[in-house]
Amino acid sequence: MNSLLVVMVVTALCITWVRASRRNRQRWLARLDLPGRWEWQDHAGTLELEGELDQGRYCFSESGNEEQGRWWLQGHELVLQPEGGGDVNALDVRLFEEGKIGIHGPGRERRIYIKQRANVVPLRRPA
């Protein structure tokens, strides 16, 4: 009987922990607010992210070059998979303040992006 009680308590604790973790992740994703247009601070370049809070499509534009593909969050990393089978890049994402993020990784070292606000609400594209 005691072992059944212990199993029930451990199960309840695990369920509570999983729910709290999910809730905290959703809050973090809402604060990050990645979908939208991001301007590279102090340089000419943009990062456009479309889709959900944690995945979708992206477009990097800088110096006349453009890269498109899929993006998703894996922990605190922004993973980019270019169209056409290029190398998958994992970039560290840091939230400095609302509307300002830092991205660090191969080819994009220590970049700061500022979110461009607009009064236009983008309509979701059909999947």
Q: What per-residue confidence (pLDDT) applies to 77?
A: 92
What is the pLDDT confidence band of residue 2, given thresholds at 50, 70 and 90? confident
Nearest to 110 by CA among 60, 41, 49: 41
Q: Would you state the structure tokens that stand for residue 113, as one six-digit string? A: 């992006």
Element of type H or E holding 106: none
- Write out the two tokens for 84: 């056409």
Q: Is the pLDDT of residue 120 over 70?
A: no
Instruction: Give the pLDDT of residue 116.
Output: 87
Grouping H, G, I as helix, E, B as strand and the rest as coil, residue 56 is strand
Residue with tokens 């605190």: 76
pLDDT on residue 124: 64
What architecture (CATH level 2) is domain 34-116?
Beta Barrel (2.40)
pLDDT in tens, 76-111: 899 999 988 778 889 999 988 888 999 998 878 888
How far apart are the C-alpha atoms of 92 and 113, rounded to whole Å? 13
The long-range contacts involving 45-53, CB below 8 angstroms and separated by at least 24 positions, are 47/103, 47/113, 50/122, 50/125, 53/26, 53/29
- What global pTM score does this model have? 0.75
Q: What's the confidence (pLDDT) of residue 16?
A: 92
Q: Which of 114, 122, 115, 47 is nearest to 78 (CA)?
A: 47
* 23-60 confidence digits (pLDDT tens): 988 888 888 888 999 998 888 889 899 999 889 999 98
Q: Which two tokens stand for residue 112?
A: 């700061």
Place of tokens 């609400």: 121
Average confidence (pLDDT) over 46-75: 90
